[in-house]
Chain A
Amino acid sequence: SYELTQPSSVSVSPGQTARITCSGDVLAKKYARWFQQKPGQAPVLVIYKDSERPSGIPERFSGSSSGTTVTLTISGAQVEDEADYYCYSAADNNQVFGGGTKLTVL
């Protein structure tokens, strides 16, 4: 089975840059997606194919990839970006989420 590892929490002040990493061997071969989840809500896709941003997602959200690690960057984080963030990837017949990172913006 595959595993994706994320930090459990990241904290920044408003306007600072938040970076959330996700590591796993599968990421060297397969794309990653990033989801944002706020309390009581379904997840929302913020990045796909490592670095592509769906329409409607603010430009401050970006993604990058290097080897077995992908990174979600929120440039100029806003209070409304406070949420849980999950990376995700799929390989062969397996799909897996990272454990999630709680982003605090205050």
Chain B
Amino acid sequence: QVQLVQSGAEVKKPGASVKVSCKASGYTFTSYGISWVRQAPGQGLEWMGWISAYNGNTNYAQKLQGRVTMTTDTSTSTAYMELRSLRSDDTAVYYCASSDDAFDIWGQGTMVTVSS
């Protein structure tokens, strides 16, 4: 079936980096872009950025520019999101999502905890 499966939970120390993966199946990976969205505990959804799975073009939220990198591997239909220089306020559930009009699928979420 159509799905996005994300990597498991991570615990990182402040200043470290984290890389979350998102593997697509059940559809043509290069037909849709992948967005990354995060949600801090008890807070709302925050859009982080988007990458075209077709040509790798990216668009990042201004507040994360310089700390985030999104990539794709079309050979494995997998998207990646790397966040560097982690701070405590980066603690959140990170989601990948692929959407276009009515086509809308989300990963199950990856909890990233930043704590010393």
Contacts and interface: CB of A to CB of B under 8 A. Distances in A.
Interface of A: 1, 33, 35, 37, 42-45, 48-49, 52, 54-55, 84, 86, 88, 93-100
Interface residues of B, number: 20
Contacts of B46: 97
A37 B42 CA distance: 12
B44 A95 contact: no
Interface string B86-102: 00000000010101011
A43 B59 CA distance: 21
A97 B37 CA distance: 10
B35 interface: yes
- Can you list the 6 inter-chain pairs with the closest CB atoms, starting with the nearest? A45-B104, A42-B106, A100-B44, A97-B45, A95-B47, A54-B102
A42 B95 contact: yes
A95 B35 contact: yes
B104 A86 contact: no
A79 B61 CA distance: 36
29 contacts: A1-B62, A33-B104, A37-B45, A42-B95, A42-B109, A43-B45, A43-B97, A44-B106, A45-B99, A45-B102, A48-B101, A48-B102, A49-B101, A52-B101, A52-B102, A54-B104, A86-B44, A88-B45, A93-B59, A94-B61, A95-B35, A95-B47, A95-B50, A95-B59, A96-B47, A97-B45, A98-B44, A99-B44, A100-B45
